[in-house]
Amino acid sequence: MFLEKIRPSNKIIIASHNQGKVIEIRDLLEPLGLKLISAASLNLPEPEETANTFSGNARLKAEAATLATGFPAFADDSGLSVDALDGEPGIYSARWAGEDKDFSMAMEKVNAALCEVDVKLKIEASRSASFFCALALAWPDNKTEIFEGSINGTLCWPPRGGNGFGYDPIFIPTGYDKTFGEFDQKLKHSISHRAKAFAKFLSYVQNEYDEQ
Ligand code: ITT
């Protein structure tokens, strides 16, 4: 079905206005030989993220881009959930950075919130956290597919490394001693929450190639 549906134009809209994500999604989708068009390059408006789950918001963004263009669209809703903060910032990860998308400030907010928990508990709270990613592929005929992935890790302070985007400089994935901000991006793309969601998407597509 994927190949049949994608073939007429081979075009997919990347329904994201986050440049860091668009770069990662391009890297991951490139091997499929699709024509990738970013929502920003088409001046598509950023829909309000009114759902209360990652998959709900991914669906909403992908469907808005499909409705506006008539092409299939791919959206990513993702974020950092910190265990000692009851999962915050979670679906509000982008919003913690404010209108200026200032992630140095957002990382400081996360650290300050953890320090407050330390004071309240009178011991150092757990720094465990996870990144979560929901990918939505919306088709013009209204069907939307969802693929999800996550990765566990711990948060460090101060931030380390200038690679990646968002909260990468404070996130150390389990089993490693470097932050995602210090990671070679190819390595990040092979183990991240987004990579895991992508692997599910690719196996869905691969079934179609195998059946040809
Ligand atoms: P779009 O909705 O336009 O795609 P956005 O940045 O608003 O862009 P989200 O609502 O999904 O996207 O917010 C996700 C935030 O979570 C994002 O801005 C990052 O700060 C953070 N995040 C998600 N994946 C990340 C990753 O791989 N590394 C670091 N931070 C990540």
pLDDT tens digits, one per residue of 184-201: 999 998 999 999 999 999
Q: Which of 76, 77, 102, 168 is catalytic?
A: 77
pLDDT tens digits, one per residue of 44-60 = 999 999 999 999 999 99
Can you list the positions of beta strands (E) in 4-102? 11-14, 35-38, 73-82
* Residue given tokens 């919130």 in the structure block: 113
Confidence of residue 24 (pLDDT cuts 50, 70, 90): confident
Write out pLDDT tens, residues 93-137.
Answer: 999 999 999 999 999 999 999 999 999 888 888 999 999 999 999
Give residue for tokens 């990918």.
135
Note down the domain range covering 96.
2-210
Q: How far is the CA of 165 from the centre of ligand 1 (A)?
A: 8
Which tens digits make up the pLDDT trace of 64-75? 999 999 999 999
Q: What is the CATH number of the domain that holds 80?
A: 3.90.950.10
State pTM to two decimals: 0.92
Number of structural domains (the chain) is 1
- Asked if residue 20 has pLDDT above 90, the reply is no
Residue 157: CB within 6 Å of ligand 1? no
Q: Are strands 11-14 and 73-82 parallel, antiparallel or unpaired?
A: parallel
